[in-house]
Amino acid sequence: MRCPKCGSRDDKVIDSRQSRDSSSIRRRRECLKCKYRFTTYEEIERSDLRVVKRDRTHEPFDRRKLAASIAKAFEKRSASLLTLEEMVDEIVHELETSGREVPSTAIGAKVLEKLRKIDEVAYLRYASVHQRFEDVDQFVDAIHTLGRRIKPNALQRELFPPETAQTQSRAAGAGSRDIPNENHGRI
């Protein structure tokens, strides 16, 4: 291993430990030339996983792309990075055991399944992109699939309030000039 500080190839391993999920080994190293300490990770090299896109093209699976799309759904939410990493690890593991080629729709379905259990807002954000929502009705349908009803916010005014009897009578009387006036005709 080449030292990131001085470039020397001579180093020694100080400490080795398994990662939390036992999928890699963390090694703490020290350069014998400059005494700089650095960390390396050793993991099993996996076969190339290919993603079949909606337009039938193929591209190599990119873990960073998956992580970025999930992080975007969690933007400004209270999920920890550890939660995101665990989720990505689970999805990648499931994909790698399923075969060499996987449709992008299957990846999206796995992400939605995990998001639904963790954060409903992140689920809706991801679903709106993955399922290509075109209008508000699709959002409403997605909310209903979560088992929630849309509750109007008390602080929000209604865009089109229903007409009441009082507003209807005002509208009918506004065109009439026969409204009696107590002071009419008096000096």
Query: What pLDDT shows up at residue 34?
Result: 97
Query: What pLDDT shows up at residue 151?
Result: 54
Query: What pLDDT shows up at residue 162?
Result: 54
Query: What pLDDT shows up at residue 176?
Result: 46
As a whole number of angstroms, the distance between CA 128 and CA 100 comes to 28
Reported as a single tens digit per residue, the pLDDT across 126-142 is 877 766 767 777 767 77
> In the beta sheet, which residues pair with residue 58?
52
Reported as a single tens digit per residue, the pLDDT across 141-154 is 777 777 754 455 54
As a whole number of angstroms, the distance between CA 24 and CA 98 comes to 20
| Residues of the chain scoring pLDDT < 50 | 149-150, 154-157, 159-160, 165, 167-169, 174-179
Q: What are phi and psi of 71, to 5 degrees?
A: -60, -35
Angle between helices 63-73 and 81-98 (to 10 degrees): 140
Query: What pLDDT shows up at residue 79?
Result: 76
Any idea where the domains of the chain sit in the sequence?
11-43, 50-145
Query: What pLDDT shows up at residue 182?
Result: 52
Answer yes or no: pTM beyond 0.75: no
Angle between helices 63-73 and 120-130 (to 10 degrees): 120
Positive or negative, the Cα torsion across 87, 91, 92, 93?
positive
CA distances from 67 to 25, 55, 84, 102, 162 (A): 21, 22, 8, 17, 45
* Contact present, 2 and 9 (Cβ < 8 Å): yes
